[in-house]
Structure formats: structure tokens, C-alpha cells
Amino acid sequence: MRILLIEDDTGLGFAVRDHIAAEGHVPDLAPSLSYARDLTATMAYDLILLDLGLPDGRGLDFLKALRAKGSVTPVMILTAHDRITERIEGLNAGADDYIVKPFDLAELSARIAAVARRYTGNPNPLITLGRLEIDLASHAIHSPDGRIDLSQREWVIFEVLLQRPGQIVSKSQIEDQLYSFDAEVESNTIEVYISRLRKKLGKEVVQTIRGLGYRLGMP
């Protein structure tokens, strides 16, 4: 998932960013609201992790403005404000979840996965795709022949396709999910990962729609 992390504390921001990246997501770290606004204006995010106390404004105002514009991007608040009334205010402003600092990174991962599942319309982390049993929470794939392990980037591409069953996903959309804002994109990387996915999961799992992109198939 492409995730925007809005956090002004660099110590926390870097650690969360690295953790999210290690989980296979693509994070962009914005240390201020103005930077976050620029990013959201140019990039579609699957999730926003939002701190409330930022140097150039309140996170809640950013969230309200986002919702006022009609954005349905899931937003998870990460904040030091621990009062239940502040939590209610945050959820009422349109947040999907509310985590109070300090938090366990593993819990953050679980919450991110839960929010992502809610937005894809399937809160169940277990998916069956043909002969494959997929656990979205633990990133585990089982076939009748046994467990199949994917690399981080292979999983990201597979998850992008899983989240859009029946839809064509363009190469640039996959690149957006795979690389952070300032990363160098190599020319044929996507093709290489698609090829590896087919090798591990079966040729039918990813269909190539010539000139348009890729689509999830039924292995």
C-alpha cells in the first residue's frame, strides 16, 4: 500500500516509515501539513497516518479539509492525545482508527492491515483465490503443494492486484505502490516481479492486458 505518514518527530517518523517499508508498503514521510498537502495533491494514497500536533497546524483540520473535499482515503490518527473525548473528536472528524502514542509497531501493522481490509470491502484477512489460501495479515500463501513465500516487493504487487479483483491495474499504478516519492524507478522492474509471481503462484494468477496493464487471474 502507498502510505502517507504525517509526523513531525523525526525519531518516530523514521522508525515508523522504516517499519512500514519493511512490511512491504510504500511510505512517504511528511514532517508538516503543507508538505502533506503537496503530496496528497499529486499522489493517491491508500492510507494516511496522521499526527495531530504538527508545527504548521492541527492534524484534525487537515483531516476535516480532506473529508470536505470528498476524499475517502483511510486515515489513521497517531497521536499523543490520549483522552477519550479527543479520540471521539478524531473519529467524528472522519478518522478510521486512532492510536495513542507510544504504540507497538506490530499493533500499528495490524491496525493498518485491518483498515486496509475494511476499505477493500473484505474485513476477513483470509482470502481464497482458486487453489490458493491467502492470509493478508501474515502475508502467508498456501497452495495444495505447500507454503509459498513471496519477497516483499512481490507481495506488494500481488496485494495491489488482490485489492482490485477484475480491474486492470496499470504499470504506473503498481510503480506508485512499489516506490516511495523520492525513489529511483528502474525501467523493467515491474515485469521482472510479475514474472516471478507467475513462476511462484502459477501463470494464470496475473494476466497481462497488452497496452493497459495487469489483472488478477484465477490460478
Partner 1 sequence: MRLMQSLRGQLAVGVSAILVLLWLGAVLGSAYVVRREIDESFDAALQETGDRILPLAVVELIAAGDGIAAQRILPITQHDEKITYDVRDASGKVLLYSHDADPTVFDHIKGEGFFTTADHRVFSRSAVSGQYTIQVAEPLTHRQTALRETILAMLVPLGVLLPLSLFGVALWVSLGLRPLSHLSVALRLKGADDLTPLALDGLRTELVPIEQAANRLMARLKRALDAERSFAANAAHELRTPIAATLAQTQRLVAESPEGPLRQRAVTVEAELKRLARLAEKLMQLARAEGGAMLGTEHADLVPILHMVLTDFARSSPGRVKAEVPTIPVPSRLDSDAFAVLARNLIENALVHGSQSSVTVMLTAEGVFSVTNDCAPIPAEVLTTLTMRFERAGARSSGSGLGLAIAAGIARGLGQDLSLRSPVAKDRGFQVTLALT
Binding site for partner 1 (CB under 8 A): 9, 11-12, 14-16, 18-19, 22, 53, 80-85, 87-88, 100-106
Nearer to partner 1, 69 or 83 (CB): 83
* 3 sits in which H/E element: strand 2-6
CB of 15 to partner 1, least distance (A): 3
Q: Which amino acid is at 2?
A: R
Strand partners, 142: 133, 147
CB of 8 to partner 1, least distance (A): 9
| 90 SS3 class | helix
Nearer to partner 1, 58 or 101 (CB): 101
DSSP 8-state symbol, 56: T
The smaller minimum CB distance to partner 1, of residues 75 and 132, is found at: 75
Using an 8 Å Cβ cutoff, are 79 and 57 in contact? no
Q: How far is the CB of 17 from partner 1 (least distance, A)?
A: 10
**Residue 129 Cβ, how far from partner 1 at the closest point, in Å?**
27
| Whole-number Å distance between alpha carbons of 192 and 190 | 5
